[in-house]
Amino acid sequence: MGSSYLRKITCHSERSRAACTFFFGTLLSFSAVKAQPFVDIINTSFQSLKTTYQNDSVLKKNRTDNIYLNLTVPIKLDSFNTVIVRFYGEQLTSQVTEYDPSWYSNTSEGVVKSALLPIGFQHETKSHKWKFLALAMPKISGQFNPVSDKEFQMGGYGMATWVKNNHFKVKFGLFYNREFFGNFFIPVFGVDWVISPRLQIYGTLPNNFRLEYACVDKFLYAGLGFKSYTRSYHIYSESPLDTAHYYVRHNEMQVKAFVDLYIKKKFVLFGEFGRTIGYSPTLYFSGTKDKVPSPGVYSGLKDAFFFNVGLAYRIRFDFQ
């Protein structure tokens, strides 16, 4: 198999004011869905890292860039029930930037993409002590060249939240996705705790957790975070002599520092800098857990530092 397979509101009228009031009221009711004191209506970001290969006899250096886009639309049915529609898109571009020219004639590049459309329902009990969330999560993940049913995945997410008061919440649930390497289940657990007016922790483990400090109230926030995210992408061979299919498994764990700058009340510039743990997009034969042995862009990588920058339209519930 050759290297060719290795290539990611303003409100004026009374009617519009009423629509805005309903929309932002819906967002406030949606706050319990998020494992954080805010919801991003839309955000986009760019993440990049440079590293080297674990086996550097042929492939020397790698650059991996991620582009993300998130959109959230909560639809309030009544005081206790909300429909949630989200969209999540990602493009992952990996490049071999230094290699043994006797083996490679040019730089190899891999581009994979995913589009996820979680649709679900949240119910809050009349006592306001419990909230329940269920999401169906259809996903397309692969090269999109062309999009096919082989790139389809189906997943789901369920979470229960116990609310002691406005300063302390406990969450637990289960995530599932039918990845290309098999059924993937993750139990989740989290605590949202406002320790002081400036300091709080929030999130769910093992996927995303933060310690946040308000350096300048309603303007500058900073802290430490952890992220863990596993996904897989279907890969076609571009060689006409190779009819096999493959998939890339991408395990991404991060420890990082972050800064959120509110340039307007709802517009946020954010940045992150951190270190990967066990970072290595790896190519496997489809339907198996066998790695493809030949060197390629999706071979073992060493951990590295990364940065991530982005922009969000964000509603913070502690700004209200």
Q: What per-residue confidence (pLDDT) applies to 106?
A: 56
The token duo for 1 is 């198999």
Residue 187 has pLDDT above 70, yes or no: yes
Q: What per-residue confidence (pLDDT) applies to 113?
A: 96
Bigger pLDDT: 100 vs 293 = 293
The token duo for 101 is 């020219």
Q: What per-residue confidence (pLDDT) applies to 30?
A: 42
Q: What per-residue confidence (pLDDT) applies to 104?
A: 57
Residue 110 has pLDDT above 60, yes or no: yes
* Beta carbons of 88 and 123 less than 8 angstroms apart: no
How would residue 294 be classed by pLDDT, with cut points 50, 70 and 90?
confident
Average pLDDT over the chain, rounded to an integer: 85
- Count of Cβ atoms closer than 10 Å to residue 112 Cβ: 27
One-letter amino acid of 141: S
Per residue in 5-43, pLDDT (tens digit) is: 333 323 344 444 444 444 444 444 344 344 478 889 999
Per residue in 143-174, pLDDT (tens digit) is: 998 888 899 999 999 999 999 998 999 999 99
Q: What per-residue confidence (pLDDT) applies to 210?
A: 97
Per residue in 230-262, pLDDT (tens digit) is: 999 999 865 554 556 899 999 989 999 999 999
Share of the chain above pLDDT 90, in %: 64
CA 253 to CA 303: how far, in whole Å? Answer: 10
Share of the chain above pLDDT 70, in %: 84
Q: What is the mean pLDDT of residues 126-132?
A: 93
The structure's pTM equals: 0.84
Q: What per-residue confidence (pLDDT) applies to 17?
A: 45
User: 245-262 and 208-216 as β-strands: parallel, antiparallel, unpaired?
Assistant: unpaired
